[in-house]
Amino acid sequence: MEFDHIKSSAALIYDEFIQNADSRTESWFLMSSPLPQTIVIAIYIYFVTSLGPRIMENRKPLDLKGVLIFYNFSVVALSVYMIYEFIMSGWGTGYSFHCDLVNYSESPQALRMAATCWIYYFSKFIEMLDTVFFVLRKKSSQVTFLHVYHHSIMPFTWWFGVRFSPGGMGTFHALLNCVVHVIMYTYYGLSAMGPNYQKYLWWKKYLTTIQLIQFMLVTTHISQYFFIKDCPYQFPIFIYIIGLYGLIFLFLFMNFWYHAYTKGKRLPKVLQAQMWAHHTNGVINGNANHEKDE
């Protein structure tokens, strides 16, 4: 009986909560409730952290070169399309980059923005294939907490964005993210094409710099809300979530930068060797100078 009471109370709370949702997106794919996406995300986490590695444990890594080239450049094309749609539905056609509210009307431009938000949301499920490919290729070092957390939290939070607030200042980080993904997935696509192209990919280190800049801009933009005297944004909770999201990922990527590049753990082996040689020479020269001083 107690369980039934808890269940009915939870259902009542959810019904009251969902009454404030955007009716325009209610019938769209995966938008009926957060349950379907929660199941997908749970399966994703289970596969990439447990089931997948066990399946591949005694198998050779799969050769996915052709699949990776197609996948990465497809994500580039999709990201370019979303950039165009975000610009044409608001960010280049009227948004002030300050207190931009959600347009809940049935106007073509408002519906275009809502549809673009849904496409962006759905693209987060497509990007989960990043981790699946790592597992199938037995690149276990790539399946980090940061990576899995990022690919899990983005679609989950964006369901609420599309259902309640598809537009306005809360979508600036999505536009920026699409720009970053054009650069990132172009790199990944070229890298997948083989050694003949990898020598031109010296700018790998700067991908993390670009991501850091992205989260700095996201945090700066969304922080305006707390300094604007009159900004009647319809769902302020999303402002707090985006701000927290920006800060968390800024911290995580700074931590990644420190361990990957300052310590040289993720640099190409040639550069790691150069760093080690430089460090060793510095120690030897330092000791030699110290002996001279004595």
pLDDT single digits (tens) 145-177: 878 988 999 999 999 999 999 999 999 999 999
Amino acid, single-letter form, for residue 51:
L
Residue 121 domain flag: yes
Which one is catalytic: 5, 147, 150, 151?
150
Dihedral of alpha carbons 96, 100, 106, 108, sign: positive
pLDDT of the residue at 291 = 36
Q: Give me the domain span that covers residue 190.
A: 64-272
Catalytic-residue membership of 221: no
Is residue 129 one of the residues assigned to a domain?
yes
Residue spans of the chain under pLDDT 70: 1-17, 263-294
Tokens 């969902």 — which residue?
Answer: 18
Residue 57 placed within a domain: no
User: Kind and range of the H or E element at 228?
Assistant: none
Tell me if 18 is assigned to some domain.
Answer: no
Report the candidate in 87, 105, 107 with the shortest Cα–Cα distance to residue 97: 87
CA distance 92 to 181: 19
Number of domains in the chain: 1
Write down the pTM of the prediction: 0.83
Q: How far is CA 137 from the centre of its chain?
A: 21
Domain assignment present for 159: yes
Evaluated on CA atoms 107, 110, 116, 121, the torsion sign reads negative
Taking CA atoms, 186 is separated from 172, 178, 235, 266, in Å, by 22, 12, 35, 19
Give SS3 for 150.
helix
User: pLDDT tens digits for 47-80?
Assistant: 999 999 999 999 999 999 999 999 999 999 999 9
